[in-house]
Amino acid sequence: MTYRIVLLPGDGIGPEITRVARAVIERAAALSGFSVRFEEHAFGGASIDRYGEPLTDETLAACQAADAVFLGAVGGPKWDKAPSRPEAGLLALRKALGVYANLRPASVHPALADKSPLRADLVAGTDLLIVRELTGGIYFGRRERTDSQASDTCTYSRAEIARVARVAFEQARLRRGRLTSVDKANVLETSRLWRETVSEMGARDYPDIALDHMYVDAAAMHLLRAPASFDVIVTENMFGDILSDEASMLPGSIGLLGSASLGEARPGIFEPIHGSAPDIAGQDKANPFGAIEAAAQLLDALNETDAAARIRKAVNAMHEAGEWTGDLGGDLTCSGAGVKLVERLEAEA
C-alpha cells in the first residue's frame, strides 16, 4: 500500500516543522510495513510570492487527488498588505475539501504537568478531544450592516449537526466512551436544535456512549476547574473556536498540539494548531511535536493505527526523558528533536 500525501509546508516555521514530521511519517510507515509518497506544493504566503495567489488550481487539484493533506502554517507580517491573503488559501482549501469536523486533542503528559499554567494536580490526567463544527454557524451566516446597527446570523440544519455529532460519537467509542455536547440551549434556538439532534442520535445509535450536555459558559469554567473530567467534547463553530483555544493552553506550550479537519471522504487536512510563528522562523527553534501529533492523527485517519501508536509511544518516551525544545525548557533544536524521535522509533521497533 502506498499513500499519496500532499505536503504544504507554508510559511514561517511551517517548512522546519513539516520537514521533521515528514521524516517521522516515512520512518513509522516503513516500520509498520507500508509506504507514503509525499508531493510538495507552495501554499499561503509562499504561493503568493511565487504565483500571486495563496492556493493555485494545480495545488488544489493535487490536494483533491491525495489521500491526505499535511499542512505546516500560513501567514505572517510579510503579507499583511498583500492584495490576497495567505489565510484565504486555507479557507478555500477547507471549503473545497468539505471538511466540517475539526478535531483538536489536548492531553497533559505527567512529565509536563508543571509546564501548565494550571496547578499540576489540576491538569494531571487531562486527555480530551474537542470536535468543532467547522463550516456552519455564525461565522458563515448572513451579515448585515447599516451605519448604526449590525447583525450576524447563526444557522444550523439538523443534517449539519448530525454529521459532526457522528464524528464525535465515533471518536468517543475509540476513546473512553464519554461525550459532552456543548451548547447554549437556555438561550439560542440553534442550540436547542443542536441538543435535540445530538440527544436523539445518542439514544438511537450510541446507547453505549455516556452522553451529557453542558452550557458553553459552564464548559469554559469546567475546562479550568476539572479538565481531566472530559473525554470528547462536541460543539458548534464559534463555541468550538473559543473552547479549543482555551484547552490548548492546558498542556503548557502551543507547540505541542495537532489538529485534524475531516469531511465525508478523504482527504482530511492535518496541521499543528499554532501559527507560522514569524518571531522564531528560520532559527531551528520551533517545537515540532504539534506537527508530529498531527502526523499521528493523519495515520489514524488512514486507519494506520499501528504507525500512529509508534509515533505517540516515541513522543511519550521523549517527554519522560525531558527531551524538549526551548519552549518547554529543553535544549533540543527543531531538527535535533526530529533526529531523536526517529532514533526512538527505531529503538522501540
Find, among 289, 341, 326, 266, the residue nearest to 66 by Cα: 266
Question: Do the beta carbons of residue 70 and residue 5 sit within 8 Å?
Answer: yes
Q: 288 among the known binding-site residues? A: no
Per CB under 5 A, residues contacting Mg ion are: 275
Instruction: Check the CA dihedral 321-326-329-332 and report its sign.
Output: positive
Residues 308-337 binding ligand ATP (CB under 6 A) are: 327
Residue 276 binds ligand ATP (CB under 6 A) = yes
Confirm whether 245 is a catalytic residue: yes
Q: 309 among the known binding-site residues? A: no
What's the closest the beta carbon of residue 275 comes to Mg ion, in angstroms? 5
Find, among 182, 159, 129, the residue nearest to 293 by Cα: 129
Q: Secondary structure of 32-64 in the HEC alphabet?
A: HCCEEEEEECCCCHHHHHHHCCCCCHHHHHHHH
Q: 205 among the known binding-site residues? A: no
What's the closest the beta carbon of residue 110 comes to ligand ATP, in angstroms? 21
The pairing of beta strand 258-262 with beta strand 268-272: antiparallel
Confirm whether 147 is a catalytic residue: no
Q: 116 among the known binding-site residues? A: no
Residue 10 binds ligand ATP (CB under 6 A) = no
Please report which residue ranges of the chain form alpha helices under DSSP H: 14-32, 45-51, 57-65, 86-97, 120-123, 158-174, 189-205, 216-225, 237-248, 289-301, 305-320, 334-348
Which of 202/338 has CB closer to ligand ATP?
A: 338
Main-chain phi, psi angles of 98, to 5 degrees: 60, 35
Binding segment for ligand ATP (CB under 6 A), chosen from 179-187, 194-202, 268-276, 310-318, is 268-276
Confirm whether 300 is a catalytic residue: no
Which of 13/28 has CB closer to ligand ATP?
A: 13
What is the Cα–Cα distance from 332 to 25, expressed in whole angstroms? Answer: 20
Catalytic one among 139, 152, 205, 340? 139
Which of 98/282 has CB closer to ligand ATP?
A: 282
Number of other CB atoms surrounding residue 268 within 10 Å: 23
Confirm whether 184 is a catalytic residue: yes
Helix (H, G, I), strand (E, B) or coil at 332: strand
Q: 316 among the known binding-site residues? A: no
Strand order in the sheet with 2-10: 35-40, 2-10, 68-73, 268-272, 258-262, 101-107, 127-133, 232-235, 178-183, 210-215
Residue 274 binds ligand ATP (CB under 6 A) = yes
Residue 107 binds ligand ATP (CB under 6 A) = no
Q: 166 among the known binding-site residues? A: no
Report the residue from 286, 292, 296, 315 that binds ligand ATP according to the rule CB under 6 A: 286
Catalytic one among 208, 212, 245, 331? 245
What's the closest the beta carbon of residue 245 comes to Mg ion, in angstroms? 8
Which of 141/275 has CB closer to ligand ATP?
A: 275
Number of residues that bind ligand ATP (CB under 6 A): 14
Residues 290-309 binding ligand ATP (CB under 6 A) are: 290
Q: 279 among the known binding-site residues? A: yes
What is the Cα–Cα distance from 63 to 267, expressed in whole angstroms? Answer: 8
What's the closest the beta carbon of residue 338 comes to ligand ATP, in angstroms? 13
Helix (H) or strand (E) holding 181: strand 178-183
Cell 492531553, residue located? 107
Report the residue from 92, 254, 317, 342 that binds ligand ATP according to the rule CB under 6 A: 254
Torsion of CA 156, 158, 159, 163, to 10 degrees: 90
User: Which residues touch 88 (CB under 8 Å, ≥6 apart)?
Assistant: 54, 55
CB nearest ligand ATP: which residue?
Answer: 275
Question: Do the beta carbons of residue 73 and residue 12 sit within 8 Å?
Answer: yes
Catalytic one among 100, 184, 231, 300? 184
Confirm whether 231 is a catalytic residue: no
The binding site for ligand ATP (CB under 6 A) comprises 13, 75, 254-255, 274-277, 279-280, 286-287, 290, 327
Which residue ranges make up the annotated binding site for NAD(+)? 275-287
**Binding-site residue set:** 94, 104, 132, 217, 241, 245, 275-287
Name the binding residues for substrate: 94, 104, 132, 217
Query: What are the residue numbers of the active site?
Result: 139, 184, 217, 241, 245
